[in-house]
Structure formats: structure tokens, C-alpha cells
Structure 1
């Protein structure tokens, strides 16, 4: 692909896991100028020689009215900032994203890429009603965001990016994703996990690969690069047993016995260890195929994949055999 004409690109959530990788990707691989809305600029990395291409707007991303006039002209935006729960959930995940989209549409912006979550889509990329009915406040806010922001498509190009299970951060100095933190918590029990067998299907993806795919979309001639206005970000789906096989191979646990984790046994563990499950947790237990058709990764565009499997992903976050 030819080098894209330099753009002025807004990025929210630039100090989080995916946001940091995205900023790094855009500064290394493009000539674009970046506008970063951050609450605490001290959490940004040293920008070095790229400092002249970055404008930092110090503000709470939810207070769009207070900072929108400081953004200046923006061609495209990546709306990455997210609140995972609490009173900020709707103001950040829903209200701010809609307000920023409206502002850009009214002031010459061409494209908005908003981040949602693969949890709100079914296999065919249609909105999953159960996500709204049973999901956490975070999941429900993302569901509503998809509904509302797609109504703006007549005023500005709108493309949704729906990450699946995100791995990243830690060993390379980037903030760790929630799943990476979970892997560190589970690390003492990997041998037990590797002795289990279970039904289910899912996608996982490294945050650096999300950034590479997002950068390609930004620099393509059409906003969605032919992938549609709902793009699920993930490597090809794997079964739970394939994932466990990858763990066994990575840690050298090839000859462990296997125990089938059937519903009754799962319920036994839940009761014994007093695990609290939400209605959404129960739904996910009962609907174990969380795969999506046509997932998108750098490989989709002929680009190298940073971490194509669970072993490479664990190594990337500093978990060694």
C-alpha cells in the first residue's frame, strides 16, 4: 500500500492498553498528526522525535463540551476510551462517543472508528439482544452505542470495531489488558487448567494486532476496507480444547490426564468455591460458541500477525514456561 496522505487523527483512551498500542502504531507506521484527549498526560510515553506530530488535550473524555473547541480540525477519529463500570460507564462509553461523533460530523470530519466489544454481536454480526437484557453495565452501554452511533452514518463515515478477547501489555511496557491481568492471576493454576477439557469456541487477539488492523483501515481508500461497518477484531476462532492444547504445548504439559468439564462438575466448582455468577455469566456458560464469521486481523490484509496463538500471546505479556 502506498503511504497514505497525512491526516489529523483524534484518539481517545490513548493511555489504556489498546490506545497505547494504537498511538505507537500510528506514530511508527504513518505520518499522521495525532490529537490525544487524556485526563493525565503523565501516563503517555516519551514521544521523542514524534512529539511535534502530537497535540495533547488534557481533559476528562466525558466532558466533550469543555474541550471540543480545543480539538481543532480532525479528519478521522478512533474512539477507544472506555469505562468498565460505575457511574462513568454511560457518560464515557455512550454519551461522549455520540457527542464527539456529532461534533466531528458538523466540523468536516470524514471518519469515526468507535470501539465496542464482540460480546454485543452474534455470529452473523447482528446485535445480540441478550447482551442488552443480561449484560453488565459496560456491555449494555456498548450495545446502546452501536444502536445510536450507526444512526449518524448519513452525516459521517462510521465503522464499529468489535474486539474479542484482548491480550497485551506488560513485558513491552504497555498497560496490560484485562485478560492479561487475568492470566497472571490464573498463572499458579495453569497446570490444573491444562488438565481440563471443555466445550466452547472463541477468538482472541493481541492489542498490537488490533492496532495494526486499525491503522490499515484508516489508511485504506474506504473506511471499512470492504469489511462492512461492523468489524470483529480477532484471530480465527479456536475451540476451548484447542486453546488448552496450546497452553499444554507452551508449558510442556503434553501428558497430563484430561478431565471433561461437564455442566454438573462446573456447578460443583461454582458451589464449592462460592463463585458469584451474574445473569450474563450464566448466559455465556449456556451459549459457549462465542465465534463470529469473518473475524479481522492483520492477516486479513496480508500483514504480519504479531501474536497469532495463545503461546505467542503469553510470551508477549511476560508469562514464560
Structure 2
């Protein structure tokens, strides 16, 4: 397996070969204690500051009744749209924590969580979106309808759906981007300081990603099959390996958004972690079909991402005027 790298420049006139976003972890300040402090900052801003702000957001949605519902974790009391926002309101705070940690503690550009280039390739993010959205829609979505049509129901409340779409796009983009910057960005880079072994770098974020999603209702409903296929293998391991191959998290960012927005807007499983007023609601979670469908979705995705679309080979050079030592 060949891990592609990006050519660029460090400082003034010094050419640097094979610069990937993982190696960008050594730009700025990168001692191990800084990553520990960074995690503390991320979770403090996400959980503590976000935890203080979340009840106030609930109050905006439902007043005192909404606040009381939030305290007893009764998100359904906010309605289909309000509950969606309430559950995801904490992600902007986690994103802020990540940006603070990278900027202030590591003293490097947050863009280095995505790429070592001077510009993020939005084209490549779009490639990831299309390459995943097409097979997941046809195989996991319409394919499931072919086998279990009785479990599908159409959402006739199109007014609510129309109001929900912009909120879904914004909050899902924040959620998925935050998770990518954290798991395949910050965690991956921190692991590379410990050991640069590629297998190790692939397994660490994949394992942590799977563990972080164990409390999702799907994990309880599907058992080990769902945990392995739908959290550890895909998206955990596959998307991580793709990021290592690309040398950026651009593809994974697009893939993650495509995966979640499809479940939020098109085919939503009742009682899932992404419970939302989608166009179609699936009354029962089919763990076996969902797991097996991933075995087809993944190779189709890879074929589209690397055969139909081509990897961007040109970019602005990477200028890193103050590549710091281990301080």
C-alpha cells in the first residue's frame, strides 16, 4: 500500500519532500504533554462550556418546560426539529475546543488537521461526498427498501421537512467535521508522536471512534455485528486508512458528511442516534443487512474515489516559517 505524500517547502528556500497532514503534527509545538493538555481543553470547552450553554439553548426552544425536558433528557419534548438541534448543540463547542488547542497549545494552523498544503481542496471533499453518497444511497438505502419495504414509511409533513433541511445541513456539517478533525486529525497526529507505524496509526483512531459510539442505540440493537462493521471497520478503519493514503482528511470529511446527511434527510431509522424527520422513516434497524451492505459499499466507494475521480496532484507549496522543535 502506497501512502501518498505532498511536496512543499519549509521555511525559506528549503524544500521538504513527503509532507502529509500526519507529519504536520511535528510543526509547531508537539511534546506529549501538549496533547494531554489539548485533550483537557477540548473536553472542557465541549462538555463544561457546552454543558452550560446547552440548557440555555433548550430554554430558547421551549421556555421553562423545555429546560425541564432537557434536564430529564427528554429531547422528544422539543419536537422532531428541536430534538435534532438539542442533541447536536454541543458540537460547535467541541469544534471551538479543537481550534483553541491546535492554535494556542500547539501553535500551528488548524488547517494542518486536514492537510499540509496551504489550501484545503474542497474539490476533494466533494469527491468524498459523491463517492460515498451514491453507493450508500443505492445499496444501503434503496437496497434495504427492496428487501424490507414494509418497514419504510413516507414523511408527509413536507413543511416541517423544508424547515428542517437547512438546520440539518448546518448542524450535520459541524458534527461530522468536528469528529473528523478530532479522531482522524488530532488523535491521529497525537498517536504519530508516540509511534509512526502505519498499522498503529490506523488502529488507534479507529478503535477510539468505535468506543465513542458504543452508547448509540444502533450499537445496542445490532450488538457486536454493528459495533465491528458499522463503527470499527466502517467508518473507523476504512476512513482512517483512506486518510493515510491521501495524506489528508479531505476525502474522509466529505464521506462522513455524506454518510450522516443521508441518514438525517433521506432514510432515518426510528430511535437511532440521528433521529430526525427525514423523508423516509425505517421502523426497524436491520443490523445484518446494514453490516453486509458495507462490504459492497466500501469497494464501490473506493472505485469511485480513486478510479472515477483523480487525486489532486497540484497545490500551493507548504510554507512553514517556524517549524518548532519538541517544546
Shorter-chain TM-score range: under 0.3
Higher RCO (C-alpha 8 Å, min separation 6): 2
Scaled by the length of structure 1, what TM-score is found? 0.27
Scaled by the length of structure 2, what TM-score is found? 0.27
Query: Larger % of helix: which?
Result: 2
